[in-house]
Amino acid sequence: MQDFTLEVHGCHEYDKTGAISEPIYLSATFRHPAFGQSTGYDYGRVANPTRENLEKSVAMLEQGERCWAVSSGMAAINLVLKLFKPGDHVLLSEDLYGGTVRLANDIYSHYGIEFEFVDTTDMELVSGQIRANTKGLFIETPSNPMMLISDIKALAQLAHANDAWLIVDNTFLSPHFQKPITLGADIVVHSGTKYLCGHNDVIAGFLIVADKEGAAARRVELLAKSEGPNLSTFDSWLMLRSLKTLGLRVEKQAENALAIAKWLQKQPQVTAVYYPGLPEHPGFALQSRQAVGFGGMVSFKVTSAELAKNVLARLKLIAFAESLGGVESLLTYPLAQTHAEMPQELLARTGLDDKLLRLSVGIEAVADLIADLQQALEG
Ligand SMILES: Cc1ncc(COP(=O)(O)O)c(C=O)c1O
């Protein structure tokens, strides 16, 4: 089945009522038919039919064997970092969502796990930083917010040759455009809050594994059951509803993003545009091979920090807000928002500075978005 079909139907099976919309099972616990018997559902923290339908549908879209729907993207990344033990070494893309950097540096490093940041677009650099105790490579591609493209297939081969896992945060593209597991990734995570939700109204996360019998899956199963990070039933239903329009939304967002990126390139107040769908982007060829779309995120730099702040204040249609992936266009100032706690050294390495703006393109008419950006840039 193709993605557009899978997104609408997922794993939905009709119950005796024939309900087209997935029923919401708002039940915390489930009756046992008799001693030693179960309907397959015992207690809501462990399994709930609505959440399970969502998990199965997302696993199908990512072509993974098993998925867990959790309360946020950070809850999913938290489960991933819990897979490592004291003494393990983990390499991460140096351009990465600030919250992931904070979780690694300020929380998990206290438990004896060693984290190192590397430019994962450079295979030689990554190979040079692999150690005997390297157990994981964690990447974003495109990365947040500099839109760098890393080679998923090559990194998976490198990770496996060293007995490590490749973990891909697929938030920026969604499975509609990129399926890291088909390229060799072991684990995929999402901030489901973003494209998978698409309406800026649910905070959610997903963790998908390639192999449901593997060590990672067994550990995540234990963690999810024991710690209870799971997504609520009602939010699971909202996410199921969101998935139905995933393809329509992201295709329109990507179309708008390309038009805006091309327009930004011509503006005198704009000094750089970062969008992998532009043929001059250094990751264009690789992205064209490993994904079927370029996404709806465009970062750009303006001539001064003062202008960047003025643009944010002058916007009328596009909202100055954190987050991304929704139908409403949002403009973010990464240095003070999503990447506020990023170590100085990483900011310098990636070029994330006070002139950078990150646009999450929505599904509005592109001419209206461009008109808003134009009046904000011109003042
Ligand atoms: C790429 C990426 N991964 C993970 C997260 C964290 O997700 P959440 O905010 O749903 O916890 C974000 C949030 O902005 C993100 O942009």
Q: What is the DSSP string of 66-92?
A: EEEEES-HHHHHHHHHTT--TT-EEEE
In angstroms, what CA-CA distances link 83 with 90, 196, 211, 339? 11, 25, 15, 25
Mean pLDDT rounded to a whole number for the chain: 97
Helix (H) or strand (E) holding 331: strand 330-332
Helix (H) or strand (E) holding 248: helix 246-265
- Number of neighbours of residue 141 by Cβ within 10 angstroms: 29
pLDDT in tens, 342-364: 899 999 999 999 999 999 999 99
Instruction: Considering the chain, tell me which residue range(s) the CATH 3.90.1150.10 domain(s) occupy.
Output: 247-378
In angstroms, what CA-CA distances link 269 with 52, 147, 273, 310? 49, 20, 11, 12
Q: The tokens of 368 are what?
A: 């209206």
Q: Ligand 1 pocket, 230 CB below 6 A?
A: no
Please give the pLDDT value at position 232: 98
Give the confidence band of 12 by pLDDT, cuts at 50, 70, 90: very high
CATH entry, 247-378, from 3.20.20.60, 1.10.8.60, 3.40.720.10, 3.90.1150.10: 3.90.1150.10
Give the confidence band of 341 by pLDDT, cuts at 50, 70, 90: confident
Instruction: Considering the chain, tell me which residue range(s) the CATH 3.40.640.10 domain(s) occupy.
Output: 3-243
pLDDT in tens, 58-92: 999 999 999 999 999 999 999 999 999 999 999 99
Helix (H) or strand (E) holding 159: helix 152-161
**Relative to the CA of 144, which ligand 1 atom is closest?**
1
88 is catalytic: no
Rounded Cα–Cα distance for residues 170 and 208 (Å): 10
Contacts of 34 (CB under 8 A, 6+ apart): none
Q: Ligand 1 pocket, 193 CB below 6 A?
A: yes
- Number of neighbours of residue 188 by Cβ within 10 angstroms: 29
Q: What is the pLDDT averaged over residues 245-258? A: 98
Rounded Cα–Cα distance for residues 223 and 79 (Å): 7
How far does the centroid of ligand 1 lie from the alpha carbon of residue 145, in Å?
12
List the 330-332 sheet strands across, edge first.
Answer: 270-274, 297-302, 356-360, 330-332, 319-320
Count, residues in the chain: 379
The percentage of residues in the chain with a pLDDT greater than 70, rounded to a whole number, is: 100
Instruction: Choose the catalytic residue: 88, 119, 151, 169.
Output: 169
Give which of 321, 27, 1, 59 is closest to 179, Cα–Cα. 59
Q: What is the pLDDT averaged over residues 18-24? A: 94
Rounded Cα–Cα distance for residues 191 and 16 (Å): 34
Q: The tokens of 189 are what?
A: 């995570």
- Number of neighbours of residue 264 by Cβ within 10 angstroms: 25
Atom 7 of ligand 1, nearest CA residue: 73
169 is catalytic: yes
15 is catalytic: no
Looking at the predicted structure, is the pLDDT value of residue 195 above 90? Answer: yes
- Which amino acid is present at 23? P
97 is catalytic: yes
Query: What fold, for 3-243?
Result: Aspartate Aminotransferase; domain 2 (3.40.640)
Identify whether the C-beta of residue 90 lies closer than 8 Å to the C-beta of residue 66: no
- Which amino acid is present at 97? Y
Left, alpha or beta for 18 (phi > 0: left; psi -120 to 50: alpha)?
left
Please give the pLDDT value at position 364: 98
Contacts of 377 (CB under 8 A, 6+ apart): 267, 269, 270, 302, 307, 311
